[in-house]
Amino acid sequence: MKETTTQSFQFEQIGVIRSCYRQKFGIPRQPGIVTAAEATLELIPPYNQENLVRGLDGFSHIWVHFIFHKTMDEGWRPTIRPPRLGGRQRMGVFATRSTHRPNPMGMSVVELRKIESGNGKLKLHIGAVDLLDGTPVIDIKPYLPYADALPNAKGGFAPLPMQMAEVKFTDEAMSQCLRYEQRTGRQLILLIEQVLGQDPRPAYLRETSERRHGTALWDLNVVWEYTNHHFLVKELEPLKL
């Protein structure tokens, strides 16, 4: 039998993500968890024509295929320690959703909230994302509930979503959040609760508490610590990237 040789394929970027997540730290490990996470997917010429999304507005969700551009230069690893297993066990890369893959391609089902077009621009407003700001998009497909939703499927070592942790705010942080929400119309409090609630700390940081951390959301650095079994949001600072 003839031996198979590998082939290389080249794909072109069709769009870019503009997201509330300005840094990797804090982004949930899958979409759908942080419903307050908003983004736009801006289509790039020549893919910014309304024709290409005709009929898409009838779908509540889409598949976004993208490139893990921030980690691709680090290469790939045959085995991974999934955070879900506390970073203690190794699983094969193809048994995980790790970003460090032979082909650094990700896929996320996200909410399609609105399609906006005009002035030569075409933007999909999407929600509940796990995508970093600036992520290059290579394809979009409608989510088909009859084919894509499999209620009896087995979930391997990740059968259920993680349990949400409790998130509290200092008085100062809460009033900063309320002022920010009033000024921007963004759902910042819910976003922070959902982002910290899914415990963004890598396994090695879970042992240490009362350490100051910062998570970049929109144009803010959200300063928090983990103390007495809950996350405490201490203050909001302007983001310096």
> In this complex, which beta carbon is closest to ligand SAM, that of residue 16 or of residue 220?
16
Beta bridge partners of 61: 111
Residue window 40-59: x/- pattern of binding to ligand SAM, with contact defined by CB under 6 A? --------------------
> C-beta of 105: minimal distance to ligand SAM in Å?
7
For CA atoms 63, 107, 19, 138, the dihedral sign is negative
Member of 53, 80, 126, 131 binding ligand SAM (CB under 6 A): 131
- Of 30 and 48, which has the nearer Cβ to ligand SAM? 30
Strands 167-169 and 230-238: parallel
SS3 track for the chain: CCCCCCCCCCCCCCEEEEECECCCCCCCCCCCCCCCCEEEEEECCCCCCHHHHCCHHHCCEEEEEEECCCCHHHCCCCEECCHHHCCCCCEEHHHCCCCCCCCCEEEEEEEEEEEEEECCEEEEEEECCCCCCCCEEEEEEECCHHHHCCCCCCCCCCCCCCCCCCEEECHHHHHHHHHHHHHHCCCHHHHHHHHHHCCCCCHHHCCCCCCCEEEEECCEEEEEEEECCEEEEEEEEECCC
Does 29 interact with ligand SAM (rule: CB under 6 A)? yes
* Interface with ligand SAM, residue 135, by CB under 6 A: yes
Enumerate residues 56-75 that contact ligand SAM by CB under 6 A. 68-71
Q: In terms of CB distance, is 22 or 169 closer to ligand SAM?
A: 22
Report, in Å, the least distance between residue 184 CB and ligand SAM: 23
CB of 178 to ligand SAM, least distance (A): 28
Identify whether the C-beta of residue 214 lies closer than 8 Å to the C-beta of residue 201. no
Min dist CB 132 to ligand SAM, Å, is 4
Choose the stretch contacting ligand SAM; rule: CB under 6 A; options: 26-34, 54-62, 176-184, 229-237. 26-34
Q: Is 13 in the site for ligand SAM (CB under 6 A)?
A: no
What minimum distance in Å lies between the beta carbon of 97 and ligand SAM?
A: 4
Site residues for ligand SAM, window 90-129 (CB under 6 A)?
A: 97, 99, 106-108
194 sits near ligand SAM (criterion: CB under 6 A): no
List of residues contacting ligand SAM (CB under 6 A): 24, 27-31, 68-71, 97, 99, 106-108, 130-132, 135
